[in-house]
Amino acid sequence: MSQSEKVLTQAASRREEVLMHARRVIMRDGLEATSLRRIAREGGFTTGVLTHYFADKSELISACFEWTMRTWLDRVEGEVRDAPTAEESVCRFVSVAVPHASERHGEWRLWLNFVGTGAGDRQMADLLVETDLRWEALVTETLTRWHEAGLVSPRLPDEQEALILARLGDGLGLRALMTGDWDDARRTLVAALGAIGLPEDVARRALEPPAAEAG
């Protein structure tokens, strides 16, 4: 109960509270096994509360994916943009693209769950592409900052290079989800930045766990 109250305080609205519980159930049980009833039980409310906000499971799942990606992007956009130097923004970019903290890997697992389902679902595919446009824009903007600071010298236009980095990130996350080896994925991402000219000392720094991880 006190846990539920805490969640309520954190959540901006009742709707978000539902999405928060839905996300926890999906991460734990997988999309297939998730049901409105199970989410209601998890959150300690009636299924009536759920159906007030979402017509059915499919609508709730789409909303949960959209909300998860949006809150993730709100957070990482701030983190990467606010880096005081271009070098620091490399470190932050690497640590959001291939996270260190194990809780962040849960977000990747959720993503794979959605992607696995989306392969046969037009609406989910559109939603994925749309939310990913924002990520690709952030990668482009960040790459341009490095480029202007003389940190990298890609042979392609920043936008095209960013698209390649975004899809490489997907492939790396997918592999790390299988093997559990996120350090290996991070090394490959940093190698790819080396391929567009990132100096070795910055690359080395980007591979260290962020000091502020605990904070």
Interface residue with a copy of itself among 1, 155, 200, 215 (CB under 8 A) is 155
- Over the window 8 to 47, marking each residue x when it contacts a copy of itself by CB under 8 A and - when it does not, the resulting string is ------------------------x---------------
For residue 159, the surrounding DSSP H or E stretch is: helix 158-179
Distance between CA atoms of residues 180 and 137, nearest Å: 28
Interface residue with a copy of itself among 101, 133, 149, 191 (CB under 8 A) is 191
DSSP symbols for 83-139: -SSHHHHHHHHHHHHS-SSHHHHHHHHHHHHHHHHHTT-HHHHHHHHHHHHHHHHHH
Closest CA to 19 of 55, 56, 66: 66
Residue 188 binding a copy of itself, by CB under 8 A: yes
- Over the window 114 to 133, marking each residue x when it contacts a copy of itself by CB under 8 A and - when it does not, the resulting string is -xx-xx----xx--xx----
For residues 89 and 113, which CB has a smaller minimum distance to a copy of itself in the complex?
113
Residue 149 binding a copy of itself, by CB under 8 A: no
Cα torsion angle, 47, 52, 53, 59, sign: positive
Residue 178 binding a copy of itself, by CB under 8 A: yes
Interface residue with a copy of itself among 160, 204, 208, 209 (CB under 8 A) is 160
Interface residue with a copy of itself among 29, 88, 141, 170 (CB under 8 A) is 170
Residue 99 binding a copy of itself, by CB under 8 A: no
For residues 126 and 213, which CB has a smaller minimum distance to a copy of itself in the complex?
126
DSSP symbols for 6-63: HHHHHSSSHHHHHHHHHHHHHHHH-TTT--HHHHHHHHTS-HHHHHHH-SSHHHHHHH
Identity of residue 107: E
Q: Report yes or no: 60 and 22 within 8 Å, Cβ to Cβ.
A: yes
Which DSSP category does 155 fall into?
Answer: S
Residue 163 binding a copy of itself, by CB under 8 A: yes
Binding site for a copy of itself (CB under 8 A): 32, 109, 112-113, 115-116, 118-119, 124-125, 128-129, 154-156, 160-161, 163-164, 166-172, 174-175, 177-180, 188, 191-192, 194-197
